[in-house]
Amino acid sequence: MAPMKGLTVFIADLRKCRSHEDEEKRVNKELANIRTKFKEPGLNGYNRKKYVCKLVYMALLGYEVSFGHREAVDLVNSAKYSEKQIGYLAISLLMEEDADYGRMVVAAMSRDIHDTNEFNVSLALNAVSNICTREIAEVLTQDIVAQLLSPAASMFIKKKASLCLLRLLRRYPEAVNAQQWAARVIPYLGHRDIGVTLSVASLVTALAQQFPEDTRKAASFAVRRLKSLVIDNEYAAEYIYYKVPAPWLQIKLLRLLQYFPAPESPELRSLLLSILRHIIDVSQDTPRELQQMNAQYSILFEAINLGIQLDIDQGLMQECAVLLGRFITSREINVRYLGLETMAHLAAYIDSLDTIKTYQGVIIQSLRDRDVSVRRRALDLLYSMCDVGSAKTIVSELLRHMVVADFTLREEMALKVAILTEKYATEYSWYVDVMMRLVSLAGDHMGDEVWHRIVQVILGNEELQLYACKIALQTLKAPVCHESALKVSAYVLGEFGHLIANAPDCAPVDQLKALQSKMAAGSQSARAVALTTVGKFINLFPEIKTLCLRVLDRYRGALDAELQQRACEYYALATLESEDLMPTVFEEMPPFPERRSALMSRLLKREADTEDQRTWVFGGREINRERKLQKAGKTAEDSEEPPSAPQVLEALEPVGLPVADGGQTPEELARVAKSKRHYARLLWENDGILYDGDEIQVGLVAQYKPPAGRVGVFLGNKSTAPIYDISITVTSVDESNETQLVVQPAAGQGPLPDSLMQLGQARVFFDVKCTDVFATAPTLRIAYTMAGAPTVSELQMPVTIAHFIDPVTITVADFFSRWKQLGDAAIGEAQNVLKTPFLSTDSGAIQWLRNVVGGAGFALIQGADAEPDNIVGVGIATTENAGRFGCLIRVEPKPAHGLTRVTIRATNPTVAKVVATNINMIFESR
């Protein structure tokens, strides 16, 4: 691209500025100049490109650029490559997802993707990957797939198309309908061009993680392609990297195969085993150059991981163990790291750990490695290889190392020590000794889950309780007692202190004095647990009631509200005339029900997935086998009872979409379900796609100012043939709606075009006015003729009484006052308990719920509910003749149960019912 003098001078001026104020002054001057130039008629392409470049540079410097987007779109639509390039660059940097010019950008991208000039296609694909909005994913995915599969497309475009699909799949997996085209992409793993195969391998790996059943045939393609590279030596010379053929492709294919089970075909199984053995044999030769060593070892470790994952030959596994033993003693840090990680993977699948245990001393020594990442992998390996025979040795070594371990490792090390101690304890005394020592050593680096779990285990095992009481009292009498140890000791003595009351130096008064000596130095939470123990002592040991009351009386004036409340309540209970209530309140805690350890759940949360999901976790053979069974069970459960066609059709009836009387094909059902999702989205957003078919696409944009509004309907031609005789009208399904909701074409707009060519677009605007509360949405009727055949599509238009709700902000007290009034009056209330399984898996689900309630027209009242995740909102529905109707909403999500209760109370029952129906549809479409 030729240099632009004006841009060069502008950048030079900014670099000469001596202060930020001078730079800002120069930028503001240039922004004013550009704004003036954009208003001038007849601006040529060169100047438009130059000014947009200046805006991009200012945006990169951090200045806000609020104009120039239309000019960037004009550059995108230019026929010149240099202008189109700058246009796409500006759009990629400046465009927001909800921009009003987004449709024009999508239309330009679609046109360039179908261009015969591969440079224009490349620019469009790059822009799609960079911008990557939901609308782009929904509209352009099929066009990008067509480019990947097109025999006329160049290798360069095929590579870009596959990587673009990968980006869309990772960002919006539900919007790209990958199951429809995944099977057609898989054969490209055998493409003659290695670059195309490499790009497609990344795409298929992502598909295999989400749709393993639909991509199973990819395993055979991957094995045969590996054979051609590793055994047959079929590759181009330019793909040899330091005597290693296409190492990146080998690694990709080996990793892809880890997401599938071992091949059932004996021929394929034997071929895969020979490939793995060949890779291992080649690695025995010592590489002469560092780059060759890195490439060979990368392939080798991935091959070992595949062999472990598939578990197709135990002899190969033992050979891998010996080979890994050599790597963990290497002088290279990277090799040691990979060796430890891969050996942990081996420990998760191998039948016998004896081979790995021969290197136990080397692994323990790795805990003192100078590199922290190696120390972390050594910890993971010790955790994975631990069993009953080696538990005491490993746990004692970890406790000894914890004193000098990095602060970043101590929490994870404490969690793993606690899990191993509980899992492999054969003596009760050993469990108690280790856990009390653990909370004393690493109490500052662990959460409350650890001491909670200790208490749960002691409550559930009577044999532990006596010994635990003795150790708890010894801990309190020690010169130093950690806060977590104080909590455990106080809780245990409060529950079971009577078991040692007759032992020497363990009298009730000794227990109280030991507890009291540590309370003053404890935190608020530790003193709260200790006060509860003092209350329990009054119930257990009446002889020291007077001493306990003195302690409680001292804390009745505490500054902390929690401590004061506990002390006052316990003191009041102890001084009641009747002594019947005290034993009931402080009755001994029952054993906790058997359930999964919270420590294990917390540890598994730390195993965060990257873009590629992990196929195994640290923790040994049992936990990985359980994880594998859970996945298989979930898959079987998902495929066991697929919804029948009548059920799906019945669920779609409220949407008002065209539903056939008889059975429908899966493609038709998918199209109807997709339209339902589009409709539900438009119930809380003001613009988007309403219908996306094979021939046409219908989009809506709306703006409401109750009781009126304006709705724009956009009709796009997706087919290659033109369409004629276009008619777009809105009618009411219910005759009474005609007076309750008035819909008329907006004044001042021209007629619809006589014809609409490929990728053409027509639009019409309607003015809507709500005169009274209405229950049924109007129908959008689109008629046209294509290839001589008339077609009529009727779609339910997303215009409901809920769209005429204005947000209103009130105080928390006023909200609950009106909530109670509406509940007592029973005028209009609608309540649903909806299934929302995404709450437990999506970290942004609560915020999505808030966005939905806000988008539905309600003002969110912050801090109104004691439960922070609960959402409350207030709105007023306005009609022209019937007046205004207040509407309150309360959403109570329960992530642990995957359920959400939605309650709407309004001064009109129809308003409450319509809002509840809309919210229900939005949640179901998630």
Binding site feature residues = 37, 46, 50-54
**Residue 140 CA: distances (Å) to CA of 43, 137, 178, 446, 696:** 31, 6, 13, 49, 14
Asked if residue 857 lies in contact with residue 802, where contact means CB atoms within 8 angstroms, the answer is yes
The maximal CA–CA distance of the chain, rounded, in angstroms, is 103
State whether residue 521 is helix, strand or coil: coil
Asked if residue 87 lies in contact with residue 99, where contact means CB atoms within 8 angstroms, the answer is no
Asked if residue 701 lies in contact with residue 686, where contact means CB atoms within 8 angstroms, the answer is yes
Residues with Cβ within 8 Å of residue 735, at least 6 apart in sequence = none
173 burial class (0-12, 13-18, 19+ CB within 10 angstroms)?
A: middle
Q: Please state, in angstroms and rounded to a whole number, the distance separating the CA atoms of residues 795 and 462.
A: 67
Q: Please state, in angstroms and rounded to a whole number, the distance separating the CA atoms of residues 798 and 681.
A: 9
CB atoms within 10 A of CB 660: 11
Please give the helix or strand (H or E) that residue 903 lies within, else none. strand 899-906
Q: Which two tokens stand for residue 60?
A: 């990169």
Directed axis angle between helix 462-477 and helix 483-496, to 10°? 130
Specify the amino acid at residue 754: D
711-720 in b/e burial notation, b at 16+ Cβ within 10 A?
bbbbbbbbee
- Provide the terminal-to-terminal Cα distance of the chain, rounded to the nearest Å: 46
Q: Please state, in angstroms and rounded to a whole number, the distance separating the CA atoms of residues 235 and 924.
A: 50
φ, ψ for residue 836 (rounded to 5)? Answer: -135, 70
φ, ψ for residue 241 (rounded to 5)? Answer: -115, 105
Q: Please state, in angstroms and rounded to a whole number, the distance separating the CA atoms of residues 160 and 166.
A: 10
Q: Which two tokens stand for residue 565?
A: 């409340």
Q: List, as one string, the DSSP characters of 114-167.
A: T-S-HHHHHHHHHHHHHH--HHHHHHHHHHHHHHHH-TTS-HHHHHHHHHHHHH
Residues with Cβ within 8 Å of residue 631, at least 6 apart in sequence = none
**Residue 129 CA: distances (Å) to CA of 248, 659, 722:** 22, 36, 30
Please give the helix or strand (H or E) that residue 902 lies within, else none. strand 899-906
620: left (phi over 0), alpha (psi -120 to 50) or beta: left
**Nearest one of 219, 247, 223 to 235, comparing CA atoms:** 247
